[in-house]
Every structure is written in structure tokens, then in C-alpha cells.
Amino acid sequence: MKAWVILIAALCLILVITQMEDYFGQQYSGGLASEKDHVDYYFVNFALMETQADGTISQQVSGQHLTHWKLQQQSTIIAPVISDGVDPQQRVHMLADTAHMNQQTQQAKLLGNVHSYQATHAGKGGFDLYTDHLDYDLKNRVASTDAKVDITTPSGTIQAVGMNAKLDEDLLRFNANVHSTYPVK
């Protein structure tokens, strides 16, 4: 009889300890971790477009995978392509391995093998830019990096470390170690 009482007391103690662990686990760690890591949207092979009142596309963000956290207002994109500009002949395209976008500030951090380009139209304009990472402000159309930059245009090549560009103002500044090569005709 004494053994039965000890066995029942031990089982009750185990049950109470298990219930307490469940209760305190939900109160302190479980709720915070699930809210922070909760993915709200996940898209595969997607394209999101911003259009003007007349229906023209002003910006397009596409890629292989998009993961969005609504609470943090953050998105991660695998193999992103950002196309910016209303005029198709002036549109700038940016590609990278990954991008992290802050929806609140409308800023994108493109990481790994960044390639930005503008196609040449009627023999005018056009460029290819390569760098390791690039910060891009979608709202103000400002691009910057502190990494090595290689730019190729129909009129020559430029290599530098660090760059700031304002696309709406046709402004391009290099930070350091600028080397340029122009073909002789």
C-alpha cells in the first residue's frame, strides 16, 4: 500500500512539473519566438509592380523567392531583379544573389554579385555596373556602396572604391581609387 501511495505521488509530481514547464515556456519564450520568426508571405517566381495613374510601370521587383515578415516590415528576396524607371529606354535594372528590403524606409540592400545595367538605345547611354553589394533607396532612387565598383559604358570603363548615385539627377560620385580607361578612335 505504501508503494502505491509513493507511485501516485511521484506521478502527480511529474504531472505538475510538466504543466509548469508548459505554462512558463509559453509565457516567456514560445510566444516571442513564434511572433518574431513568423513568415507572413512567401512567394515563388514572383513579380511585384508599382504603376502610375496612366498604367505605366514605374518599378518592378521580381525574383525566385520572397519571404516577408509583416511585423518587422522586412522582406528577403533570393535572386532579385529590381527595375526602376518609367521610360523603358531609361530604366535601370539591378540583379544580385539576395536582397533585404525594409518596407518602412523603402530601402533595399543587394548582396553578392550585384549587376546593375541600363540598355543602350539608338547608340546612346547604357552601362554595366558590377560590385559586391549595393544599397538602393527605391523612393528617392539613390544607390550607394563602399565596395569596389566596375562600370563599363560604350565610351570606356571606370573602376573605383565606393560610389554614390542619384538616378533622378544624373549624378554619379566615386569615393576613392578612381581609374578610367577610354578607347582612342
- pLDDT tens for the chain, 185 residues: list them: 777 778 787 777 787 788 777 777 655 544 444 555 678 888 999 999 988 888 888 899 999 999 999 888 999 999 999 998 877 777 889 999 999 999 999 999 999 999 999 887 666 678 999 999 999 999 999 999 999 999 998 889 999 999 999 987 888 999 999 999 988 77
Residue 178: predicted pLDDT: 93
Residue 71: predicted pLDDT: 87
Give the pairing of strands 156-166 and 171-181: antiparallel
Exposed, middle or buried: residue 146 (CB in 10 Å: 0-12, 13-18, 19+)? middle
Q: How far apart are the first and last CA of the chain?
A: 107
Q: Residue with C-alpha cell 508548459? A: 22
Exposed, middle or buried: residue 80 (CB in 10 Å: 0-12, 13-18, 19+)? buried
Give the pairing of strands 74-78 and 142-153: unpaired
> Collapsing DSSP states into helix, strand and coil, what is residue 30?
helix
**CB-based contact 97:79 (threshold 8 Å):** yes
Residue 119: predicted pLDDT: 82
Highest CATH level, class, for 41-181: mainly beta
Residue 97: predicted pLDDT: 97
Every domain of the chain and the residues it spans: 1-37, 41-181
